[in-house]
Chain A
Amino acid sequence: MSETNGKILSVKDLKTYFQTEDGVVKAVDGITFELEKGETLGIVGESGSGKSVTNLSVMRLIPEPPGKIVSGDIVFNGIDVRKLSINEVRGIRGKRMAMIFQDPMTSLNPFLKISTQLMEVTRLHLGHSKKEAYDHAIKMLKTVGIPDAESRVDSYPHEFSGGMRQRVMIAMALSCDPELLIADEPTTALDVTIQAQILELIKDLRTRMGTSVILITHDLGVVAGMTDKIIVMYAGKVFEQAPTAELFATPANPYTKGLLKSVPDPAHEEGTELYQIPGLPPDVAHLPPGCPFAERCYRAEDICRRDFPPFVQINANHHSLCHFAQEVYAESVAESENGKTANIQMKINE
């Protein structure tokens, strides 16, 4: 294994495109980020911003055709993932990097027992015998807090509730003690109380097993208490990148500010409408030349519609894709000093 400097994953200028009837969809268009061992990264953005495609690319799970990783580097623990043969990729998937998906209702095979679905992972990757795999499956179900694991291990998915199924998915993903866990909107399909439980479970397991985590969500509220750093995606691009606390306190991008404003906060009065960014995400098959967010941005000027914005470095770990990044940042700093964001600060520190 080559030098990795404690980096578990490094993605550089990743581009993943889809060939569709409507033209080339640039789902991911030049994404760069890094993840240290034991760190948790949040990827936030509205629907269609390319969050899933980024992570499916890392797992080499992009359906090809129509999709294709066009360029960029994906280095996992010193391994150049793009150069691996499909068989080598299979040796890593489920063993060293695992993924859980948005919809636990459809992500488990309805025709197979839970035990079968759990056992096949460890039999494949850890060379377990049937007995070992079965015992391990029960152990994993206990780990993720499924009551009565011994008797429920032989149930079928439809006999579990949504939250329980997501626990099963997590058990399956963590069966081989992977170094990286990618959770693609693990709680979006669940109701609020269950959401909190699942997040708590991921948080707890991450610390116990020392797993690095990528947590994808379109709800900034979810990542606040869980991540070390965040990247904000829009139209296949990284719009802002910063340590979590800094991103919440002093965002340097109008899009991030919009997302922050749309997080429901506890002091929010009943009955008043929650803020929403005006307009809809753009069609990534036909992007205008300028900033893809310009049409919806409160700060946009002519230059935004004409020229693609620069990726401005605010400080060592903080970047923002905006013509007015410094100005927006300064504005946020001023606001935070006035205590306007105290609410969210409290949330982070809780």
Chain B
Amino acid sequence: MAFLVVTLTWGLIRVAPGNFYSSEKKLPAAVEANIKKKYGLDKPWYEQYFIMIKNVAQGDFGDSLRYQGQSVNEIIWRHLPYSATIGVLAYLLALAIGLTAGIVAALKQNSPFDYGSMALAMLGLSVPNFVLGPILVLMFSLGLYIFPPARWGGVLSLVLPVITLSAVYTAYIARLTRAGMLEVMRSDYIRTARAKGLNERTILLKHGLRGGIIPVVSFTGPALAALLAGTVVIERVFAIPGLGNIFIQANLNRDEPLVLGIVAFLSILIMLFNLLVDISYGFLDPRIRYE
């Protein structure tokens, strides 16, 4: 999987016009040849490919072309914490609010809360985060002076980016949870639980919740992947030195090793997430556990 993604990325970089050295300032031919030799760019493409794959397989992406003397791995590890913090916090926030809102909305179906939260969710889904971000900044930073508008520094600076990033996921999780819970609460085994004389709280938490949140668990894999893409935009809007920002820079600079490194890293991460989702299915559903 990761192998395929890396190959594809490598191919795309090759096919795209221009390279790291094609800038306004034309380099002397001798210098260019020298550099190309240093990075192995003078060899035929298939040889370059095999060298690349061999290195990648060993987890070695080489040095960045742009940031001289820094290895790609170093750069990734330096910038990852920013992205990870925002991403993880955003997903946790989305889970907390989305699950609660979805469950309450399902239990009080057709109540004002139900309509209100689902309308909000609709809004959350339809406003892109590069619009929501600036709006929040205008309101809370430039208007009310509560949170800093951008950059990294302290807990307060996290508030707006995290909220912005989590909005879509909160909305999606709320809708999934509501639909899932409504479905489950109509099922035969919930009727059995009622016939036993259990109270609604027990019925909901002990009998309903597990089946109801399975759609949310399935959503978590793709969501975390999309979240990574989301950080790219958010980091741009809030000027946060995370992986997303670096990735954009690397692309603009045609910093091939760095681009490849980040892509490979992200695809491994996504596979890891999906593995985690599969494992948590087993925890939720005994029918899967035994298969």
Do residues A111 and B286 form an inter-chain contact, with CB atoms below 8 A?
yes
B187 to chain A, nearest CB (A): 7
Inter-chain CA distance A159–B210, complex, in Å, is 19
B232 to chain A, nearest CB (A): 38
Do residues A120 and B198 form an inter-chain contact, with CB atoms below 8 A?
yes
Please name all residues of chain A whose beta carbon is closer than 8 Å to the beta carbon of B70 when the two chains form the complex: none
Please name all residues of chain B whose beta carbon is closer than 8 Å to the beta carbon of A209 when the two chains form the complex: none
Do residues B194 and A61 form an inter-chain contact, with CB atoms below 8 A?
yes
Q: Check B284 for interface membership: any CB of A closer than 8 A.
A: yes
Do residues B197 and A103 form an inter-chain contact, with CB atoms below 8 A?
no
Please name all residues of chain A whose beta carbon is closer than 8 Å to the beta carbon of B211 when the two chains form the complex: 110-111
Contact residue among B187, B195, B198 (Cβ-Cβ distance under 8 Å from A61)? B195
Q: With A106-B189, A110-B211, A120-B196 given, name 15 new contacts (CB 8 A).
A: A87-B199, A93-B195, A93-B196, A94-B197, A95-B197, A98-B196, A101-B191, A108-B189, A111-B210, A111-B284, A111-B285, A113-B286, A121-B197, A158-B286, A169-B192
Question: A108-B189, A110-B287, A111-B284 are known contacts. Are A98 and B210 too (CB-CB below 8 A)?
Answer: no
Number of inter-chain CB pairs below 8 Å: 75
Please name all residues of chain B whose beta carbon is closer than 8 Å to the beta carbon of A112 when the two chains form the complex: 206-207
B285 to chain A, nearest CB (A): 6
Find residues 75-133 in chain A having any chain B CB closer than 8 Å to their own CB: 87, 89-95, 98-99, 101, 103, 106-113, 120-121, 124-125
Do residues B188 and A156 form an inter-chain contact, with CB atoms below 8 A?
no
List 26 contacting pairs A-B, 8 Å CB cutoff, sorted by A: A87-B199, A89-B197, A92-B197, A93-B195, A93-B196, A93-B197, A94-B196, A94-B197, A98-B195, A98-B196, A101-B192, A106-B189, A107-B191, A109-B189, A109-B193, A109-B207, A110-B189, A110-B211, A111-B211, A111-B284, A111-B286, A112-B206, A120-B198, A124-B198, A169-B192, A172-B196
A57 to chain B, nearest CB (A): 13
Q: Check A59 for interface membership: any CB of B closer than 8 A.
A: yes
Inter-chain CA distance A120–B197, complex, in Å, is 10
Inter-chain CA distance A309–B193, complex, in Å, is 40
Please name all residues of chain B whose beta carbon is closer than 8 Å to the beta carbon of A106 when the two chains form the complex: 187-189
B189 to chain A, nearest CB (A): 4
Please name all residues of chain B whose beta carbon is closer than 8 Å to the beta carbon of A91 when the two chains form the complex: 197
Please name all residues of chain B whose beta carbon is closer than 8 Å to the beta carbon of A159 when the two chains form the complex: 290
Contact residue among A109, A125, A158 (Cβ-Cβ distance under 8 Å from B197)? A125
CB-based closest 7 A-B pairs: A94-B197, A93-B197, A94-B196, A106-B188, A109-B189, A156-B286, A111-B210
**Which B residue sits closest to A158, measured CB to CB?**
B287
**Which A residue sits closest to B209, measured CB to CB?**
A111
Please name all residues of chain B whose beta carbon is closer than 8 Å to the beta carbon of A172 when the two chains form the complex: 192, 196
Question: A111-B284, A111-B285, A156-B286 are known contacts. Are A103 and B196 too (CB-CB below 8 A)?
Answer: no
Please name all residues of chain A whose beta carbon is closer than 8 Å to the beta carbon of B287 when the two chains form the complex: 110, 156, 158
A137 to chain B, nearest CB (A): 13
Inter-chain CA distance A95–B195, complex, in Å, is 10
Do residues A90 and B199 form an inter-chain contact, with CB atoms below 8 A?
yes
Contact residue among B192, B206, B210 (Cβ-Cβ distance under 8 Å from A108)? B192
Inter-chain CA distance A172–B65, complex, in Å, is 70
A54 to chain B, nearest CB (A): 15
